[in-house]
Amino acid sequence: MRKDDFFRDARTDLAGPLEGIRVLEATTSWAGPMAACLLADYGADVVKIEHPDGEIARYLQPFVPDSRLSLVNETVNRNKRSLTLDMRSDEGRELFLRLASRVDVVVENFKPGTLAEWGLGYPQVRDVKPDIVYVSVSGFGQFGPLHDRPGYDPMAQAFSGWMSLNGAEDGAPTKASTWIGDDLAGIHGALGALAALRHRDRTGEGQHVDVALVDALLAHSNTFPSMARLGMPLRRTGNQFPVIVPFNVYRCVDSDSYVYIGAALDSHWLKLLRIMDRQDLEDDTRFADLNLRLEHRELVDQLVAEWCCKQPLHSVLERLAEAGIPVAPINDYPTATTDPHVQARDMFQDVELSDGRVVPLLAPTTKFSRTPVRIRSAAPALGADNEALLRELGERGGGEGDAE
């Protein structure tokens, strides 16, 4: 399909499929901001509340070159409006509740119980907005023995068991290089908000949506958690695929060139044998089906590795792709982000930041044929929308009360 055909019926008069949905966000770091970022990317009007000193994401490295703007903040807080507010004060609490009474969704990721102590928990917000969808994202969830324990992404990776199976087979447990727990919890926070909004639209009922990083990581650990509960053995497999072979990283003859090959089907295996000029193994009973190949994993991997190490990367990619065998080069990020396919997918958008610099930022992932989405605005400067938001509430102007 051509891109023009996909977007043939696209509308240009909407911010996205969530236009008209209003969100009040009280978050820091990444998981909560990611949940609200997804809603903002999809067209919701998101107002982010920050302390007048700003939240930690504004001060985290890496910074945009020749700037003090954090790429963390610019990535996860685009498409939002900014209001500074001390939620712990009486006036700040009152203003927060007035804002909450006018929105569809509240997203927060403070340690469980914190906002309730400030008079801004789900019961208090529900009093002013009975059908509110109140999304709480935290390390361990709103209930359970560890619910009041603070937790960041690496702690969730460690506690959930995720780290125990990540890394080299003979190495130490290894955390992900990205904030995978934060990302997954943010995705589930946004998905939970949309499901709760659907229920509200059908019944008029709001609800509290509870998302824990630990739960999200367990949910995305494939079959490992159930295997553990059944007493089945679990082991770290590195780059191997636990249940299929050949499914691994193989080195090519080029310097520092690696390829990932995944021959899952019996037909893939036969095609691979012909490409490797090993037709003599087509009728070998050791490799007759997926499970038999799995029993001889080391031999299968050795056969493929010995062939790949004599081939240039481009040849492996071309021949396997032509045969319909799943294959991909092991790219670094400079290579991946400039690949023509990634560019054709519009995964980057040049955005003018609040200081005037133009930076390529990752664009929204999902493509909507009727209601396309994009980065409409950069992450706002701290408190950039104070005056406008106070006017919307009927206040006398910026700088009044706790908004600064």
What's the length of the chain? 404
What gap in Å lies between CA 381 and CA 69, rounded to an integer? 9
Q: Say how far apart CA 73 and CA 61 lie, in whole Å.
A: 10
SS3 sequence of the chain: CCHHHHCCCCCCCCCCCCCCCEEEEECCCCHHHHHHHHHHHCCCEEEEEECCCCCHHHHCCCECCCCCCEHHHHHHCCCEEEEECCCCCHHHHHHHHHHHCCCCEEEECCCCCHHHHCCCCHHHHHHHCCCCEEEEEECCCCCCCCCCCCCCHHHHHHHCCHHHHCCCCCCCCCCCCCCHHHHHHHHHHHHHHHHHHHHHHHHCCCEEEEEEHHHHHHHCCCCHHHHHHCCCCCCCCCCCECCECCEEEEECCCCCCEEEEECCCHHHHHHHHHHCCCHHHCCCHHHCCHHHHHHCHHHHHHHHHHHHCCCCHHHHHHHHHHCCCCEEECCCHHHHHCCHHHHHCCCEEEEECCCCCEEEEECCCCCCCCCCCCCCCCCCCCCCCHHHHHHHCCCCCCCCCCCC
Residue 49 class from Cβ within 10 Å (0-12 exposed, 13-18 middle, 19+ buried)?
Answer: buried
Interaxial angle between packed helices 266-275 and 313-322, expressed in degrees from 0 to 180 and rounded to the nearest 10 = 130
Q: Answer yes or no: 254 catalytic.
A: no
153, 182, 210, 215: which one is catalytic? 182
The residues assigned a catalytic role are 182
